[in-house]
Amino acid sequence: MKLKQTFSDFMLHHQEGHKRSYNFLVLLEAIQTAAKYIQYFYKTGSLKNLMGETGITNVQGENVMEMDDIANAIVIHYLRRSNQVIYAITEEEADPVLLNEDGGRYFLYFDPLDGSSNIKHNLPVGFMFAVAKRNLKGPEDGHLRKGSELRAAGIFLIPTGVFTLALADTGVFRFHQDETMTYVIPENADPLLIPENPKSWELSFNASNRKTFSTKVQNWIEKHESKHSFRYIGALAGDFHRLLSNGGMFMYPAIVNHPKPGKNRPQGKLRLLYEANVAAFIAREAGGMAIDENGNDILQIKPESPHQRTALYVGSRPLVKKIQKRLREKE
Ligand code: AHM
Ligand code: MG
Can you give the pLDDT at residue 140? 62
Q: What does residue 20 show for φ and ψ, rounded to 5 degrees?
A: -110, 170
Which ligand 1 atom sits closest to the C-alpha of 117? 4
CA-nearest residue, atom 10 of ligand 1: 235
Residues in the chain: 331
Question: Residue 146's CB: how many other CB atoms inside 10 A?
Answer: 17
CA-nearest residue, atom 14 of ligand 1: 234
CA distance 264 to 250: 20
Q: Which residues contact 70 (CB under 8 A, 6 or more apart)?
A: 38, 41, 45, 50
CA distance 8 to 276: 26
Which of 236, 242, 251 has most ligand 1 atoms within 8 Å of its beta carbon, as the pocket-test mutant?
236
Residues framing ligand 1 (Cβ under 6 A): 62, 91, 111, 114-117, 206, 234-236, 269
pLDDT tens per residue, range 245-281: 999 999 999 999 999 999 999 999 999 999 999 999 9
Can you give the pLDDT at residue 279? 98
CA distance 76 to 92: 11
CA-to-CA dists, residue 158 to 10, 126, 322, angstroms = 21, 6, 32
Can you give the pLDDT at residue 219? 96
Do residues 128 and 270 make contact, with C-beta atoms less than 8 angstroms apart?
no
The residue type at 146:
K
138 CA → ligand 1 middle, Å: 38
CA-nearest residue, atom 2 of ligand 1: 114
CA-nearest residue, atom 5 of ligand 1: 115
> Looking at the CA of 263, which ligand is closest?
1
Q: Output 95-100 pairs: Cβ under 8 A, ≥24 positions apart.
A: 95/306, 96/143, 96/306
CA-atom Rg of the chain in angstroms: 19
Residues with a beta carbon under 5 angstroms from ion ligand 2: 111, 114
Can you give the pLDDT at residue 139? 66
CA distance 122 to 223: 35
CA-nearest residue, atom 18 of ligand 1: 206
> Looking at the CA of 269, which ligand is closest?
1
Do residues 158 and 42 make contact, with C-beta atoms less than 8 angstroms apart?
yes
CA distance 94 to 62: 13
Can you give the pLDDT at residue 330? 81
The tens place of each residue's pLDDT in the chain, 331 residues long, gives 889 999 999 999 988 988 888 999 999 999 999 999 999 999 998 888 888 888 888 777 788 889 999 999 999 999 999 999 999 999 999 999 999 877 789 999 999 999 999 999 999 999 999 999 988 776 666 789 999 999 999 999 999 999 999 999 899 999 999 999 999 998 777 899 999 887 778 999 999 999 999 999 999 999 999 989 999 999 999 999 999 999 999 999 999 999 999 999 999 999 999 999 999 999 999 999 999 999 999 999 999 999 999 999 999 999 999 999 999 998 7
- Secondary structure element (H or E) that encloses residue 40, with its range: helix 23-44
Domains in the chain, CATH or no CATH each: 5-185 (3.30.540.10), 198-327 (3.40.190.80)
Q: Give the residue among 221, 203, 225 at the shortest CA–CA distance from 211.
A: 221
